[in-house]
Structure 1
Amino acid sequence: MTFAIVLVIIIIIIAIISTLLLTGKSDQEYSSSSKRNTVNLTMIYVVVTLLSLIGLAVYIVV
């Protein structure tokens, strides 16, 4: 259990650092492609949420 908590904390730290690094880079065509970006992000969140729920279910059952 401790290993899982440490792993989650490491992943969160990596995600925060990579997000902060990406915010420094601007995209000139972002405003024109914001709808596509929103759809892509929504799909990513849906997939990650589903995978997380499946992982949680497997963890509970096993």
Structure 2
Amino acid sequence: MTVLYGIIIFLLIVAIVGTLLLTSRSDDNYRSSTKKNSRNLSLIYIILIILSIIALGLYIIIY
């Protein structure tokens, strides 16, 4: 059990260091791509919500 805790702590440290290394780089085109990214994310969320509602409805009907 102690080994698992060690592995989890190690993975957390690696994840934190990796995140900090990736966020240290700046994106020069961030301002121009923000609108496109927001639109794409909104479209993905809308599609996922619709599919989730359909899946829930099918689950309720079947079971």
| TM-score (norm: length of structure 2) | 0.55
Point out the structure with max Rg over C-alpha: 2
Distance 1:47 1:28 in 2: 30
Structure 2 unmatched ranges of 5 or more: 1-14
Deviation, 1:28, is 2.4
Structure (1 or 2) with the greater helix fraction? 2
| Residue in 2 that maps onto 1:40 | 40
| 1:30 to 2:30 alignment | yes
Structure 1 residues without counterparts, runs of 5 or longer: 1-16
Identity score, percent: 41
Q: 1 CA distance for matches of 2:39 and 2:27?
A: 17
Matches within 5 A, 1:1-62: 21=19, 24-25=22-23, 26-62=26-62
* Deviation of 1:41 (Å): 0.5
Instruction: Kindly tell me the number of residue pairs found equivalent between the two proteins.
Output: 42
SS at match of 2:30: coil
Shift of 1:27: 2.8
Moved beyond 6 Å, runs of 4+: none
